[in-house]
């Protein structure tokens, strides 16, 4: 029963976050498409955790924060909001970079995961 209540609370928080972020069409009217290619890296003998491609259209919510994929990470993730906003402001089409997760696992310092990303924006 407690899990069901926790799920309902988490779902409502996500809904509120989505509504607060607004749509890509409203925040960035000149954008017709955003593609974010990411490679997740972790510390360990198998450093590549996953490859991921995210397609964002004008009807998508303007949320560009990805959760950390490492189990037990507290307060981490990869926020590409400033990357996308800066690209749109300067009308840049492609940007590559690296972001390190700032979350903690079992009270140890961050640095357990990072992503290398390539963001491609198409304009109207």
- The pLDDT of residue 39 is 95
Q: What percent of the chain has pLDDT over 90?
A: 57
- The pLDDT of residue 9 is 87
Structure token pair of residue 2: 């407690």
65-88 confidence digits (pLDDT tens)? 988 888 888 888 899 999 999 999
Residues near 84 by beta carbon (within 8 Å), at least 6 away in sequence: 28, 34, 64, 119, 121
Nearest one of 47, 55, 119, 110 to 77, comparing CA atoms: 110
pTM, full prediction: 0.83
Q: Which residue has the tokens 């509120």?
A: 16
User: pLDDT at residue 117 above 60?
Assistant: yes
31-70 confidence digits (pLDDT tens)? 999 999 999 998 877 788 899 999 999 999 999 998 888 8
- The pLDDT of residue 86 is 97
3-state SS, residue 85 = helix
């Amino acid at each position: 029963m407690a899990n069901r209540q926790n799920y309902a609370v988490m779902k409502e928080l996500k809904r509120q976050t989505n509504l607060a972020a607004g749509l890509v069409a409203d925040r960035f009217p000149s954008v017709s498409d955003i593609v974010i290619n990411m490679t997740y890296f972790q510390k360990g003998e198998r450093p590549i955790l996953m490859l991921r491609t995210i397609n964002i259209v004008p009807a998508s919510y303007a949320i560009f924060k990805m959760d950390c994929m490492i189990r037990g990470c507290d307060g981490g993730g990869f926020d590409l909001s400033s990357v996308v906003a800066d690209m749109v402001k300067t009308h840049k089409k492609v940007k590559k970079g690296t972001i390190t997760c700032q979350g903690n696992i079992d009270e140890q310092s961050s640095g357990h995961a990072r992503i290398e990303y390539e963001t491609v924006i198409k304009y109207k």
